[in-house]
A = this chain, B = another copy of it.
Amino acid sequence: MNTILEQTFSVPFRYPVCFTEDLFDSKNTILADVLRGERVPKVLFVIDSGVSDTHPELINQVKSYADKYKDMFTLAAEPIVVIGGEACKNDETLYQRIVEATHLYGIDRHSYIAVIGGGAVLDMVGFAAAISHRGIRLIRIPTTVLSQNDSAVGVKNSINAFGKKNYLGTFTPPNAVLNDFNFLKTLDDRDWRAGISEAIKVALIKDLSFFEWLEENAGALARREMSPMKEHIIRSAKMHMNHISGKDPFEFGSSRPLDFGHWAAHKLEKLSNFRIRHGEAVAIGIALDSTYSFLQGRISEADLKRIIQVMKTLGFELFASELKGESLIQGLKEFQEHLGGQLTIMLLKKLGKGIEVHEMDEELIHRSVALLQSFQEKGNLIPS
């Protein structure tokens, strides 16, 4: 008497991830090529205030570029400047302003939003684009190390809600990711450094040779040399792309994102009211979970010292007062709720190889914190 039909289909996604310089130079055709099509689409530019402040010429460059390539695309309106940094994900009126702009300027599903900025602005504007008209085409132009080597190549967007990071969002791949290395030159030292922690993360759980490359180049990266910076970004972005396309892009199952060190990082960001930036928090989270892996006997003291050393060479702080006390432990529960299902934490099996576990020992977490604090105060990681 019952009738049961089964609906099955696959949705294909394809987008270019480009690495260039001088993206808005009139001779650089990458953006125009991405927008070239049967129609001349409207493009709404949204720019991170941190970027437009540091690059006051940027808005005029965008306009000149649009004028030069007016046969390929038209500007829907004056570029919109939005406040940068995590704050833009906490204030819901900001994403609503982008949604309203799509209404005011008639941005349809065949138009584009091009967003220039750091990961937080990409997340927030991406969310507005994803839910307007059930998805306006999105071009991400990431301007930080963190967004170029990690988040911008991914398929997620989000804003924060109920005091929870990334509570609202969707899995919506972009239509293109255009990385302009020149934006990195004007980053302050904290942001230059912070993003590198995501590369250390992926190297530690997936690729020993990349970790060894990072050890060799940590000094040059700390001295702000561009050549290793570019190389590490492309290498890290490729690894993230492969992880996403590999098995479960929209994380339907129990497969995890590349989130070593992230349960503590998310909590630290919030506990510090975002004084600690995401990449900085990830570095501390990596240090914490590496120390925990050592205390569990998974990696050797020598391995742990190499991990700590590469992050110290890069200039990372590896302890924060927010690690102390019981609040940190609450982050485990929130991490579980965010990913859904049972608790799954990535630890280290060895350098270059992660292992998933489904419980964390609170006492061992506290001992890991104590070791990091001791190292911070005495420069001596393992008491002899």
- B108 near A339 with CB under 8 A, answer yes
- B339 near A109 with CB under 8 A, answer yes
**With an 8 A cutoff between CB atoms, is A250 at the interface?**
yes
Given A110-B340, A170-B170: A5 in contact with B30 (beta carbons within 8 A): no
**With an 8 A cutoff between CB atoms, is A71 at the interface?**
no
- B169 near A341 with CB under 8 A, answer no
> Which residue of chain B has the shortest Cβ distance to A179 in the bound complex?
B3
Complex Cα gap A108–B156 (Å): 17
Residues of A199-247 contacting chain B, CB below 8 A: 234, 237-238, 241, 244-245
Minimum CB–CB distance from A218 to chain B (whole Å) comes to: 23
Listed residue (A3, A13, A244) with the most chain B CB atoms within 10 angstroms of its CB: A3
Residues from chain B with Cβ under 8 Å of A237 in the complex? 5
Residues from chain B with Cβ under 8 Å of A17 in the complex? 4-7
The A interface is mostly helix, strand or loop, or mixed, namely: mixed
Minimum CB–CB distance from A174 to chain B (whole Å) comes to: 9
- A133 near B167 with CB under 8 A, answer yes
Residues from chain B with Cβ under 8 Å of A30 in the complex? 2, 4
- B340 near A111 with CB under 8 A, answer yes
**With an 8 A cutoff between CB atoms, is A99 at the interface?**
yes
Complex Cα gap A39–B358 (Å): 14
- A3 near B18 with CB under 8 A, answer yes
Residues from chain B with Cβ under 8 Å of A4 in the complex? 16-19, 30
Minimum CB–CB distance from A184 to chain B (whole Å) comes to: 15
Residues from chain B with Cβ under 8 Å of A93 in the complex? none
- B162 near A134 with CB under 8 A, answer no
- A131 near B131 with CB under 8 A, answer yes
Minimum CB–CB distance from A197 to chain B (whole Å) comes to: 22
Copies in the complex: 2
> Which residue of chain B has the shortest Cβ distance to A9 in the bound complex?
B245
Complex Cα gap A135–B158 (Å): 11
Residues from chain B with Cβ under 8 Å of A162 in the complex? 100, 103
Complex Cα gap A374–B103 (Å): 37
Complex Cα gap A339–B136 (Å): 11
- B9 near A244 with CB under 8 A, answer yes
Minimum CB–CB distance from A27 to chain B (whole Å) comes to: 12
- B16 near A3 with CB under 8 A, answer no
Partner of A249, one of B11, B18, B156, B245: B11
- A8 near B245 with CB under 8 A, answer yes
Listed residue (A2, A13, A17, A103) with the most chain B CB atoms within 10 angstroms of its CB: A2
**With an 8 A cutoff between CB atoms, is A353 at the interface?**
no
Residues from chain B with Cβ under 8 Å of A12 in the complex? 8-10
Complex Cα gap A244–B10 (Å): 11
Complex Cα gap A338–B110 (Å): 10
Minimum CB–CB distance from A230 to chain B (whole Å) comes to: 9
| With A2-B20, A131-B169, A134-B166 already in contact, 11 other A-B pairs whose C-beta atoms are closer than 8 Å | A3-B234, A5-B241, A8-B12, A11-B11, A39-B341, A39-B342, A108-B339, A108-B341, A109-B341, A131-B131, A134-B158
